[in-house]
Structure 1
Amino acid sequence: MSSIHPVSRSRHADLRWRRFTSYQFAAATALVPLAAAEITQAALSLPLAFVHRDGRWSLAAVLGLLPGQNLFVDASGSWLARYIPAGLRGYPFLIGTQASGEHTLCIEEASGLVTEGPDGDSFFDEAGALSPLVTEVANFLSDTARSEATLVQACGLLQSAGVIEPWPITIQGSDGSQQVTGLNRINEAALNGLDDAAFSPLRRTGAVGVAYAQLLSVANLGQLGQLAQARAQAEAAERARAEVKPMITLPEDSSIDWDWSKIGR
């Protein structure tokens, strides 16, 4: 059963919520869909890839190359990149979309950030309306969702123009090489080879900027390799420390009186 529920007075009026202090909630998030308004900043810090899900194309920040892996969140929950995708900044709140297309503010109740105690912020004010802080979060997430939809349209145009291709990425692991699937990139030669009739709609709708943002972001892929290597080394060191056994095990009874003057004689 999902723990994500729409925010409502009947369910949340007597509850409170706290802001997250760690990005551990995103430690297993390998891909985050982006909004049109953030692709310039994201492309300077993160590798971006086109993904096809639920019958539509979108542009996503690539945070890891294995399922359930986010290399930009360290063991302490700190974020390691210069840019944080907008889709993660509103947690534990999320935006749901109804069949009519209307946005609904939801919250992840299993986040550990919803509480019955006195600590935290209220969901609603004394008049029964969303509190100013929750309203601010709701507006931010709604704007992000609309901007994501704009980017989806641009990605669809790029796909229709035939300039998106599978991104061949191979990673080396303890079991040998592994091909990463599901990530796609811009075929720059195909983009440059478009005639005016095919290129003009991409330019007018801003899709060309999306294409070049993805091409620019490819340079950030090496950072994932560095982070993966650093994590593997840290995990190996931790395993080595756990396997080290003491050469001498002292008795648990601390009352024993050791006569150190006789040792070595």
Structure 2
Amino acid sequence: MTKTTKTPKNSIELSGSQFLYGQPEALHSEDHRDLKFVAQEAPFAKAETVHIVPLLVGEFAQAMMHYPIVFGGPEKTPMAIMGLKEGQNMFVKNGRFENGAYVPAYLRRYPFTLAGAGEEQFVVCIDRDAPGFGEGEEGQALFEAGEPTDFTKNAIAFLNEFEVERKRTQAFVEVLIEADLFEVKHTLSVAPSGEQELVADYYGIAEEKLHALDNEQLGDLLKRGAVAMIDAHLLSLQRWNDLVARRTVEASDIVLELNKEDELVAA
């Protein structure tokens, strides 16, 4: 469902919604002239309870080393899976990603974003609810003398790059849909009881359909740059085993911690 919100001061109406953004406001030189942003020691605190994150096609090569890459929803949006259940992110602790883990651009652009403001129109927005925004002395100013600061300009440049990649990602998905390569996949694991359990259902590339394509169809996918991304997606599915292993380790850590508490009580 489309959600429409109006900013409290300016008259720009924003359509749509984006998760993690609690109070999106169109960036405005008058409304936000005194606003500053203080970098947080825990910049990804909001991601601790996010187990799926949208992914851009240009990120597949890096993300495949850490997360299963799947496609979800009616639009077959590419997503990085970071946990095995809702509210669980196995890669973020105390508001920070673990060392070496790839951080998707969707999270790196926060608290800035682009939002729809009419047909084919977008405006730069901030999440006014994000930790770090304030009108005190500390922090990076968003505007000076009514003009965006370098801090704001850099954020906007990143958003523009993100939008270009978003459109390229959408085109990639449309190519896969046109070639009828999607199927519903099921990931299973063995529970501690020895029984198989369903980990996830999602859209993925059907390898049988891929192998059934003729040379002309494969050549078309190759020209469009889709083959390398398809391979990255398929290889990333091996990361499901890593997530299941992480869950086992985390469960062991919890048991060990409980045992330590029992020893303290007994002492």
Interval of TM-score (by shorter of Structure 1 and Structure 2): 0.7 to 0.9
Aligned to 2:65: 44
Aligned to 2:34: 14
- After superposition, where does 1:124-135 map in structure 2 within 5 Å? 124-126=143-145, 128-135=146-153
Instruction: Return the letter of the residue paired with 1:205.
Output: R
Contact 1:47-1:217 at 8 Å conserved across structures: yes
Instruction: Return the alpha-carbon distance in structure 1 between the equivalents of residues 24 and 190 of structure 2.
Output: 37
Return the structure number with greater strand share: 2
Pair 1:247–1:228, CA change in 2 (3 A): closer
Task: Normalising by structure 1, report the TM-score.
Answer: 0.81
Instruction: Return the alpha-carbon distance in structure 2 between the equivalents of residues 13 and 182 of structure 1.
Output: 47
Q: Which residue, out of 119, 122, 133, partners 1:103?
A: 122
Instruction: Return the letter of the residue paired with 2:60.
Output: I
Offset of residue 212 of structure 1: 1.0
Offset of residue 143 of structure 1: 0.9
Offset of residue 243 of structure 1: 5.5
- After superposition, where does 1:208-247 map in structure 2 within 5 Å? 208-242=227-261, 246=265
Return the structure number with greater helix share: 1
Contact 1:59-1:152 at 8 Å conserved across structures: no
Instruction: Return the alpha-carbon distance in structure 2 between the equivalents of residues 234 and 106 of structure 1.
Output: 41
Aligned to 1:32: 53
Pair 1:179–1:11, CA change in 2 (3 A): farther
Pair 1:187–1:16, CA change in 2 (3 A): same
Offset of residue 134 of structure 1: 1.2
Q: CA RMSD, aligned part only?
A: 2.5
Unaligned runs of 5+ in 2: 6-21
Q: Are 1:183 and 2:202 matched, yes or no?
A: yes
Instruction: Return the alpha-carbon distance in structure 1 between the equivalents of residues 96 and 60 of structure 2.
Output: 22
Offset of residue 245 of structure 1: 6.2
Instruction: Return the alpha-carbon distance in structure 1 between the equivalents of residues 27 and 142 of structure 2.
Output: 8
Pair 1:246–1:28, CA change in 2 (3 A): closer
Contact 1:47-1:218 at 8 Å conserved across structures: yes
Contact 1:155-1:207 at 8 Å conserved across structures: no
Instruction: Return the letter of the residue paired with 1:200.
Output: G
Instruction: Return the alpha-carbon distance in structure 2 between the equivalents of residues 44 and 136 of structure 1.
Output: 28
Contact 1:7-1:105 at 8 Å conserved across structures: yes
Which structure is larger by alpha-carbon Rg, 1 or 2? 1
Aligned to 2:9: none
Aligned to 1:256: none
Pair 1:121–1:198, CA change in 2 (3 A): same
Instruction: Return the alpha-carbon distance in structure 2 between the equivalents of residues 20 and 141 of structure 1.
Output: 20
Q: Which residue, out of 90, 93, 115, partners 2:112?
A: 93
Offset of residue 152 of structure 1: 1.7
Offset of residue 147 of structure 1: 0.3
Aligned-residue identity in percent: 24
Aligned residues: 244
Task: Normalising by structure 2, report the TM-score.
Answer: 0.80
